Structure 1
Amino acid sequence: MSKPRALFFKTNKQSSIVFGISILLPFSSTNVKRFWQFFATISSNANSRHPSCKFLFSDLLKNQRLDEAREVLNKIPFPGVHLYTMITDAYAQNYRLADAIQLFEKMPIRDTVSWNSMIKGCLNCGDLITAKKFFDEMPGRNVVSWTTIVNGYLQFGKIEVAERLFFEMPVKDVAAWNSMIYGYLKFGRVDDAVNLFREMPSRNVISWTSMIDGLDYNGRTDEALIFYRKMVGSGVQQSSNTLSCVLKACANVMALHFGVQTHGQIVKLGFCFDEFICSSLLTFYANCKQMENACKVFNEKLHANVVIWTALLTGYGLNHEHGSALMVFEDMIRMAVLPNQSSFTSALNSCSGLQALDKGKAIHAMAVKLGLDTDVFVGNSLVVMYTVCGNINDAVDAFKNISEKNVVSWNTVIVGSAQHGQGMLALTLFTRMIRDEVDPDEITFTGLLSSCSHSGMLQKARCFFEYISLYKPTVIKLPHYVCMIDVLGRCGKLEEAEELINNMQVKPNSIVWLSLLSACRMHSNLGVAERAAESILDLEPNCSAAYVLLSNIYASAGKWSDVSRMRLRMKQRGIMKQPGCSWVTVRGIRHEFVSADRSHPLSEKIYRKLDWLGGKLKEFGHVPDERFALHDVEEEQKLEMLSYHSERLAIAFGLVATAEGGAITVMKNLRVCGDCHSAIKLMAKIVGREIIVRDSTRFHHFRNGMCSCGDYW
């Protein structure tokens, strides 16, 4: 450093200051203070217009060393209003509003720019009252002053006050009109925005783009595309932002032809390699189920931008190509593209789609390394991923790690707890949610009623339902009725459930009646079942679930002639029963099974394991429940049919294909039957492993001869 210091004093004053600053600024404030001795020797000749002073002052502000910049300002004999404005603006940008106001009030001269800067600074710091005070005190307000305060009121959601000030403006430029139009659109006053747009004396590209984006945002996408056509016809030069908004609108309504035409316009105008345009094109083609075209857009250039990679990753997820989505995520890492919150969210959603717990855990570990596991969006996706993959404990841990939880976070973990039969946990979480002053919404109450249903908490369910009926009538929706009817049905209150349906404030749909019919299957109530099935078929004549459930109820009651009648009606109407299917994911590969399936390469080992389990079940005193063999066949055939249900084959495969001691997670598309439920409890005890089965209604965690549902599902 000795050589540069020698040069420092050999050069002229101005260049020596600049050179000295370039050496000292990267170091500590102590080094900068050593500069004052030299600076004092020239300060008498310096003024606010001196380039070296400006350099030092602006560089300190750029490096956010505000206190040192203030010292420089204090040593300048006659600093101009521009330097004062620079530092008050810097104070406001760093949320030191009190310092900004104090210095502003000491300024010997204040011009229009300084007043406007102070008003904007107050608004950026969230102080609308002080901003309005300065606006009222300002001696010579211009159009920028008016537009700034109008934007401030819009920023704080006070659209009526902003509207009044806008119409009081003595002079309005295009920016002022654009601000009010944007405010109207932001707060859903679309017709007012359209009328104001028509009244504008002149419009620019921002005016048109605001209308296109705002109409699309408010669900009036067809009008947005009409506005775009008018914009092109009026000869206004389109910006990349305009085209990005048009592509987003095309994506929202899957307007493939219009979007392809816009793509042609993008090529014509030379915006092909604009990163935002590229991302919008990827999203557009993905939404329109054109992943091949999306890949072509992506492959036109080697991208290092995380937004573009994330758009492709998300596009695959939207098209349920989750395996390809995760390959894109792996390629991102390999290409040293650092994932952001959206990348992790999309990747975790694909893990949920595949029930790929191992990959989800690996992505979780990566998020932890980058410090993104506490992000609310990543955290919410982690909760969903662990919940869907059968691991509620890790889901709750991921929820606890979220730094700033929103209502979606609480709803996700409450609904997840309900799905896993953790009713008391769901209620505890709800209590904490209220304590944290987070307002519950309709999804929250759906989760609470569902948790009551899966845990047999009838009285608590009645309390919740009565509360939302009396105090939140706008929140209550059909899903709440479905949950309440499910609670009553599971508790055997079938007549009360039927009465609730008949007295609903909204018209019941087939799902409401199906919930009652399912409960009739559980409690073998044929009378209510027939009335429920009749109501379902009146609403949805080809509802296969109604036929199957009623047929199963007849079969359980031994009414085989009625079973035959139902099956004949299904055949005549061309209604097909959904086949039962179970699957297990091992090392990223999904293995599917149907009842009595022998197509799997490991079938011999699977059936050998099932036969061994069958012998052990007998030793433990298990007696097959023939009511769940829903065919009129000989007893031996019934026992064989029960023994080879799809979930049992999947469990046997899990035992054969996974390491000893590890949990086995089985997914099933239909409700697990009562006999399998009893058998799996004993299987878990026999093999000394946890067996998790997710059926169409919930998760069952089988451990040591017990199930998490308490035999209540």
Structure 2
Amino acid sequence: MPVKDLVMWNVMIKGCVDCGNLEMGLKLFDEMPEKNVISWTTMINGLLKYGMIEEAKGYFREMPARDTAAWNSMVHGLFSNGRVEEAIILFEVMPIKNVISWTTMVSGLDQHGRSNEALSVFRNMVGTGVKPTSSTFSCAITSCANVGNLCLGSQVHGHVLKLGYVFDTYVTASLITFYANCKQTEECVKAFNEKLHQNVVVWTALLTGCGANAKHGDALRVFGDMFRIKIVPNQSSFTSALNSSREIEAIDWGKGIHGAAIKLGLEIDPFVGNSLVVLYTKCGHIRDGVLAFKEISDKNIVSWNSIIVGCAQHGCGEWALAFFTQMAKAGVNPDEITFTGLLTSCSHSGMLQKGKHFFECLCRYAAIEVKLEHYACMVDILCRSGKLDEAEDLVEKMPIEANLSIWLALLSGCRAHSNLDVAERAAKNIFLIDPHCSAAYVLLSNIYAFAGRYTDVARIRRDMKKIGTLKQPGRSWVIQRGVKHSFVSCDKSHPSSEKIYNKLDWLGRKLKEHGYVSDQRYALHDVEDEQKEAILWYHSERLAICFALINSVEGSTITVMKNLRTCGDCHSAIKLIAKIVGREIVLRDSSRFHHFRDGFCSCGDYW
């Protein structure tokens, strides 16, 4: 260029900074024959952008003249680099503050977890007569959402309406999030309905707000409406919709959302991919979870943890260890969740030595604090392997005080190995922590019943009745066409009960032909053998399986969920049922997933 004016120099410097060539930007800045406040501010912004805070402060001090924009840039840059106290001090000494200065303070404080201070700054701003912009309102509403200040947030909403900012996309999105955080879902919808929005941010805010308040059916309807009026969902929309599908175990909805994500090329996005992995693994589809994981283009620690924990829940210990090996090769460092997943995998797969190895590695790994859940996993590994004395010794020697979950893990292990001495000591410690712990009473009662000590069973039941502790009833359910069908033991309240019981009778005859004999130890009641057999036969998971057999396509996989641990007799029966009907039956109990196929279970009878 024959002539380079000041504007062109500033344009070139900004271009260098924006494209990441800070060194060239500094070189041009030094060569400038004349500099104005824009030149200095551009260079300061560049230094702050790349974390060169002290250098930026030096340039700021050297500026021959500073306007408000330069001060605002420094305050914003200090907040962006975590220098909160310095940003506050600089804001306080600013000679002239404009609306951008105040908004920067409100936003910066809120983003660093100081939302109450942010709201105080907002009040001071309004008190000085500075008129807020839509950005200011959006930041203030977000602060109200983070502290759950419904009263102040509603007042700000009133100002938004008066000043006509209600149609601003980000203000509306902030209002929806605010009301969702304050559990005011009706107000969420009202804020949304104040204008027919065509912006994906607003729709996603409503979708996420519904999910945050457990209105998952509403969230999925919002997601469907987005397509109907041609709003293209973004990564956040898909993530929220998939999370809602997972919460209500609506795998059919989830698969449909997955298909939409593939059409938009979003299945490779880490956030969408991570949600898909969790959806499939939580709903019993481990193979689909693995496939979704493999599609993720840029796997982060959440991706690896999701698949490792998912494999652990399904008892796929070898898969989990293989993924951990791949994770290490990819250079991703494990965190506390990774080790929880690995230890759980070892527990559910009977890998005692590998479990010990990982626990020792964790104890030596300075970057991660060993937490109570890690000890609970290790206790569970030892108990499942029959090392009850070693497990009890570990609990006694822990550097931190054992909590309820650790003692319950020990007590649960005693049931599998019928060790009454350790069970009674574990129960004693549980009742010291929580005298009303119904799980401990039930576990101890079951251990006594399994050993035939029905006098002790009766005593436990009297104690429970005396203190008003109730046993949680066993409940199983299946999801059919988006509808949840729930059953309890001996349940005859379902509209299809007659068909269910006919199917169950048919299965009973077929099971006997295959040599099935009920294990009456699991009846847990001091009654006649015929009554014990009847009690076992009408357990809730068997009713749910029969309902699914009647109401699903021949040959399809049946998925049943249960809130308690399945009993040994049901486990044996379901293995044979899967063989008789020629279908895979997936059962998730309180402990893990079981995949029954051809007379075998994926757990190898170890759970």
User: 2:527: which partner in 1?
Assistant: 633
Determine if contact 2:335/2:368 at 8 Å carries over to the other structure. no
User: 1:73: which partner in 2?
Assistant: none
For the pair 1:697 / 2:591, whether they are aligned, the reply is yes
Q: Select the residue among 330, 354, 360 that pairs with 1:436.
A: 330
Q: What is the CA–CA distance in structure 2 between the aligned matches of 1:500 and 1:175, rounded to whole Å? A: 61
Determine if contact 1:441/1:475 at 8 Å carries over to the other structure. no
Q: Give the superposition deviation at 1:299.
A: 1.9
Q: Deviations 1:251-279 (Å, cap 9, x if unpaired)?
A: 22222111111111111111111111111
Q: Select the residue among 583, 593, 601 that pairs with 1:707.
A: 601
For the pair 1:376 / 2:270, whether they are aligned, the reply is yes
SS in 2 for 1:601: coil
SS in 2 for 1:437: coil
User: 1:558: which partner in 2?
Assistant: 452
**More off after superposition, 585-594 vs 618-627:** 618-627
For the pair 1:395 / 2:289, whether they are aligned, the reply is yes
Q: Select the residue among 677, 683, 700 that pairs with 2:577.
A: 683
User: 1:480: which partner in 2?
Assistant: 374
Amino acid in the other structure paired with 1:253? V
Q: Deviations 1:194-240 (Å, cap 9, x if unpaired)?
A: 22222222222222222222222222222222222112112111111
Q: Give the superposition deviation at 1:154.
A: 3.0
Task: Rate the CA distance shift 1:119–1:647 in 2: closer, same or farther, 3 A.
Answer: same
Q: Give the superposition deviation at 1:320.
A: 1.2
Q: What is the CA–CA distance in structure 2 between the aligned matches of 1:577 and 1:183, rounded to whole Å? A: 57
Q: Give the superposition deviation at 1:504.
A: 2.6
SS in 2 for 1:702: strand
Q: What is the CA–CA distance in structure 2 between the aligned matches of 1:129 and 1:494, rounded to whole Å? A: 64
Q: Give the superposition deviation at 1:136.
A: 4.3
Q: Give the superposition deviation at 1:441.
A: 1.8
Q: What is the CA–CA distance in structure 2 between the aligned matches of 1:360 and 1:708, rounded to whole Å? A: 25
Q: Give the superposition deviation at 1:143.
A: 3.6
Amino acid in the other structure paired with 2:210? Y
Q: Select the residue among 260, 264, 275 that pairs with 2:154.
A: 260
Pairing of 1:216-615 with structure 2 (within 5 A)? 216-615=110-509
Q: What is the CA–CA distance in structure 1 between the aligned matches of 2:540 and 2:112, rounded to whole Å? A: 47
User: 1:201: which partner in 2?
Assistant: 95
Task: Rate the CA distance shift 1:307–1:619 in 2: closer, same or farther, 3 A.
Answer: same
Q: What is the CA–CA distance in structure 2 between the aligned matches of 1:696 and 1:480, rounded to whole Å? A: 18
Q: Give the superposition deviation at 1:192.
A: 2.8
Q: Give the superposition deviation at 1:564.
A: 2.3
Q: What is the CA–CA distance in structure 1 between the aligned matches of 2:428 and 2:91, rounded to whole Å? A: 55
Q: Give the superposition deviation at 1:683.
A: 0.8
Task: Rate the CA distance shift 1:619–1:284 in 2: closer, same or farther, 3 A.
Answer: same
Amino acid in the other structure paired with 1:406? N
Task: Rate the CA distance shift 1:449–1:142 in 2: closer, same or farther, 3 A.
Answer: farther
Task: Rate the CA distance shift 1:196–1:571 in 2: closer, same or farther, 3 A.
Answer: farther
Amino acid in the other structure paired with 1:211? M
Q: What is the CA–CA distance in structure 2 between the aligned matches of 1:666 and 1:534, rounded to whole Å? A: 34
Q: What is the CA–CA distance in structure 1 between the aligned matches of 2:144 and 2:218, rounded to whole Å? A: 24
Q: Give the superposition deviation at 1:108.
A: 4.5
Task: Rate the CA distance shift 1:424–1:634 in 2: closer, same or farther, 3 A.
Answer: same
Amino acid in the other structure paired with 1:441? D
Q: What is the CA–CA distance in structure 2 between the aligned matches of 1:398 and 1:689, rounded to whole Å? A: 24
Q: Give the superposition deviation at 1:591.
A: 0.3
- Which consecutive residues of structure 1, in runs of 5 or more, have no partner in the other structure? 1-106
Q: What is the CA–CA distance in structure 1 between the aligned matches of 2:52 and 2:413, rounded to whole Å? A: 51
TM-score by length of 2: 0.95
Q: Deviations 1:112-158 (Å, cap 9, x if unpaired)?
A: 44343333323322333333444444454444344333333332334
Task: Rate the CA distance shift 1:520–1:265 in 2: closer, same or farther, 3 A.
Answer: same
Determine if contact 1:667/1:695 at 8 Å carries over to the other structure. yes
Amino acid in the other structure paired with 1:387? T
Q: Deviations 1:598-627 (Å, cap 9, x if unpaired)?
A: 000111111111122122222222222222
Equivalenced residues, count: 607
Determine if contact 1:415/1:444 at 8 Å carries over to the other structure. yes
Determine if contact 1:282/1:311 at 8 Å carries over to the other structure. yes
Q: Deviations 1:158-215 (Å, cap 9, x if unpaired)?
A: 4454445445545433333333333333344333332222222222222222222222
Q: What is the CA–CA distance in structure 2 between the aligned matches of 1:625 and 1:407, rounded to whole Å? A: 44
User: 1:54: which partner in 2?
Assistant: none
Q: What is the CA–CA distance in structure 1 between the aligned matches of 2:340 and 2:178, rounded to whole Å? A: 33
Q: Select the residue among 551, 562, 565 that pairs with 1:668.
A: 562
Amino acid in the other structure paired with 1:245? C
Q: What is the CA–CA distance in structure 2 between the aligned matches of 1:415 and 1:697, rounded to whole Å? A: 13
Determine if contact 1:205/1:239 at 8 Å carries over to the other structure. yes
Determine if contact 2:166/2:194 at 8 Å carries over to the other structure. no
Q: Give the superposition deviation at 1:354.
A: 1.7
Q: Give the superposition deviation at 1:632.
A: 2.1
Where relative contact order (Cα < 8 A, 6+ residues apart) is larger, the structure is: 2
SS in 1 for 2:278: helix
Amino acid in the other structure paired with 1:332? M
Task: Rate the CA distance shift 1:585–1:132 in 2: closer, same or farther, 3 A.
Answer: same
SS in 1 for 2:605: coil
SS in 1 for 2:167: coil
For the pair 1:152 / 2:46, whether they are aligned, the reply is yes
User: 1:42: which partner in 2?
Assistant: none
Task: Rate the CA distance shift 1:627–1:283 in 2: closer, same or farther, 3 A.
Answer: same
Task: Rate the CA distance shift 1:173–1:445 in 2: closer, same or farther, 3 A.
Answer: farther
Determine if contact 2:336/2:368 at 8 Å carries over to the other structure. no
SS in 2 for 1:584: strand
Q: What is the CA–CA distance in structure 2 between the aligned matches of 1:572 and 1:224, rounded to whole Å? A: 52
Amino acid in the other structure paired with 2:323? L
Q: What is the CA–CA distance in structure 1 between the aligned matches of 2:291 and 2:254, rounded to whole Å? A: 15
Amino acid in the other structure paired with 1:309? W
User: 1:116: which partner in 2?
Assistant: 10
Task: Rate the CA distance shift 1:652–1:302 in 2: closer, same or farther, 3 A.
Answer: same
User: 1:31: which partner in 2?
Assistant: none
SS in 1 for 2:469: coil
Q: What is the CA–CA distance in structure 1 between the aligned matches of 2:210 and 2:288, rounded to whole Å? A: 26
**More off after superposition, 108-117 vs 598-607:** 108-117
Larger radius of gyration: 1
- Which consecutive residues of structure 2, in runs of 5 or more, have no partner in the other structure? none
Task: Rate the CA distance shift 1:344–1:568 in 2: closer, same or farther, 3 A.
Answer: same
Task: Rate the CA distance shift 1:637–1:187 in 2: closer, same or farther, 3 A.
Answer: farther
SS in 2 for 1:272: helix
Q: What is the CA–CA distance in structure 1 between the aligned matches of 2:414 and 2:47, rounded to whole Å? A: 58
Amino acid in the other structure paired with 1:478? L
User: 2:510: which partner in 1?
Assistant: 616
Q: What is the CA–CA distance in structure 2 between the aligned matches of 1:165 and 1:480, rounded to whole Å? A: 50
